[in-house]
């Protein structure tokens, strides 16, 4: 069973952003599936790194769109992106150094971050883009 199931509540009514959000959901689900299957650190790391890189690409897309339409909440949204990016990069650094494992707690953090970010923060710009 998927950790996160995409449904229309996640849609921001923009095909590009929705497709990127679906990809992020897929990556979190793949990480979850790999963990459940007991895959090794290398397999988990590959999916984790792909998730980090794709998130960066996604944030850049959102930020360009918000700037293009002069979205008034851009600075706040960008700050949230920066905070989340720092948290994930800190987690990656700890993982790389062997100081943390990709655990259920990490997965729940990623799940909660993604769902809350889409359902709350991203919905704020939906009407503007």
User: pLDDT by residue (tens digit) across 55-79?
Assistant: 999 999 999 999 999 999 999 999 9
Token pair, residue 74, equals: 């851009």
User: pLDDT by residue (tens digit) across 9-54?
Assistant: 999 999 999 999 999 999 999 989 988 888 877 877 888 899 899 9
Which pTM was predicted? 0.89
Closest CA to 122 of 17, 23, 26, 52: 17
What is the model's pLDDT at position 16? 95
Q: Is the dihedral of CA 48, 122, 21, 2 positive or negative?
A: positive
What is the model's pLDDT at position 64? 96
Do residues 16 and 129 make contact, with C-beta atoms less than 8 angstroms apart?
no
**Architecture per CATH, 13-124:** Up-down Bundle (1.20)
DSSP string, 45-107: HHHHHHHHHHHHHHHHHHHHHHHHTT-TTHHHHHHHHHHHHHHHHHHHHHHHTTS----HHHH
The domain segmentation of the chain, as residue ranges, is 13-124
Max alpha carbon distance in the chain (Å)? 46
What is the model's pLDDT at position 44? 78
């Amino acid at each position: 069973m998927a950790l996160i199931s995409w449904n229309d509540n996640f849609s921001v009514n923009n095909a590009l952003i929705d497709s990127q959000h679906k990809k992020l959901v897929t990556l979190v689900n793949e990480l979850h599936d790999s963990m459940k299957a007991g895959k090794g650190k290398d397999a988990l790391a590959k999916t984790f790194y792909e998730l980090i890189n794709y998130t960066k690409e996604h944030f850049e897309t959102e930020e360009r769109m918000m700037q293009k339409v002069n979205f008034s909440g851009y600075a706040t949204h960008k700050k949230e992106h920066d905070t989340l990016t720092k948290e994930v990069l800190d987690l990656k650094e700890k993982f790389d150094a062997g100081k943390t494992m990709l655990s259920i707690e990490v997965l729940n953090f990623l799940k909660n971050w993604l769902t809350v970010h889409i359902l709350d923060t991203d919905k704020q710009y939906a009407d503007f883009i």
